[in-house]
């Protein structure tokens, strides 16, 4: 009887030790989860998710504070990718944070710009260059189209134009049953 109890206790202790050790040794790295979430986010840094950038939002998702459907630029595809990564159910985009729009870039009307520097301070990716009382300009390649430079501009000289996208060959297929184009992937071409 005593021997049996001793054996069971010893067994439990050793299993407990192994579990304790492996829990210390192989904890899921919090950082790597944030990193993986951040890689899926579109890096627009627009703050529509109510967090000041994509990485803070990724941290909030990882800690369970924010939901996965708060990113309008990422769209439904982004929500789905996040759901796949985190093993959750995909859900429709929360439109209270905004709607998914085609990508845009900001452009400054250089005649109207007064060089106040407010947009430079607002830009989350340093995509606006300029000096005080000199006109500013947007580095189009670096602009994410986050629209954060619009509200601070006192003379309303910043416009958003569609971002130039590469040509994608359209597919037009006639459907057997309906005789109409069933799957038309023609996209309006914006070769600005």
Question: Judged by CB under 8 A, how many residues of this single chain contact another protein?
Answer: 33
What one-character DSSP code corresponds to residue 65? S
48 forms part of the interface with another protein (CB under 8 A): no
| Smallest distance from another protein to CB 148, Å | 12
**Closest C-alpha among 142, 152, 136 to residue 105:** 142
With the C-alpha atoms ordered 47, 49, 52, 55, is the resulting torsion angle positive or negative? negative
| Smallest distance from another protein to CB 71, Å | 12
Alpha-carbon distance 111 to 120, whole Å?
17
115 forms part of the interface with another protein (CB under 8 A): no
43 forms part of the interface with another protein (CB under 8 A): yes
172 forms part of the interface with another protein (CB under 8 A): yes
Give whole-number Cα distances, 41 to 18, 31, 56, 73, 85, in Å.
38, 15, 11, 9, 12
Considering only residues 82, 130, 144, 147, which one is a binding residue for another protein as defined by CB under 8 A? 144
76 forms part of the interface with another protein (CB under 8 A): no
C-beta of 14 vs 121, nearer to another protein: 121
């Amino acid at each position: 009887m005593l021997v049996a109890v001793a054996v069971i206790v010893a067994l439990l202790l050793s299993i407990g030790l192994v579990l304790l050790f492996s829990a210390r040794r192989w904890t899921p790295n919090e950082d790597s989860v944030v990193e993986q979430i951040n890689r899926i986010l579109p890096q627009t840094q627009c703050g529509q998710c109510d967090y000041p950038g994509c990485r803070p939002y990724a941290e909030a998702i990882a800690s369970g504070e924010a939901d996965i459907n708060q990113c309008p630029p990422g769209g439904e595809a982004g929500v789905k990718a996040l759901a796949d990564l985190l093993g959750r159910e995909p859900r429709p985009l929360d439109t209270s944070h905004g709607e998914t729009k085609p990508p845009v870039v900001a452009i400054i009307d250089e005649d109207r710009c007064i060089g106040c520097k407010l947009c430079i301070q607002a830009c989350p990716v340093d995509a606006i260059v300029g000096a005080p009382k000199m006109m500013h300009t947007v580095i189009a390649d670096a602009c994410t189209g986050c629209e954060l430079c619009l509200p601070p501009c006192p003379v309303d000289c910043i416009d958003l134009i569609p971002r130039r996208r590469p040509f994608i060959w359209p597919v037009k297929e006639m459907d057997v049953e309906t005789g109409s184009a069933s799957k038309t992937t023609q996209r309006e071409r914006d070769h600005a």
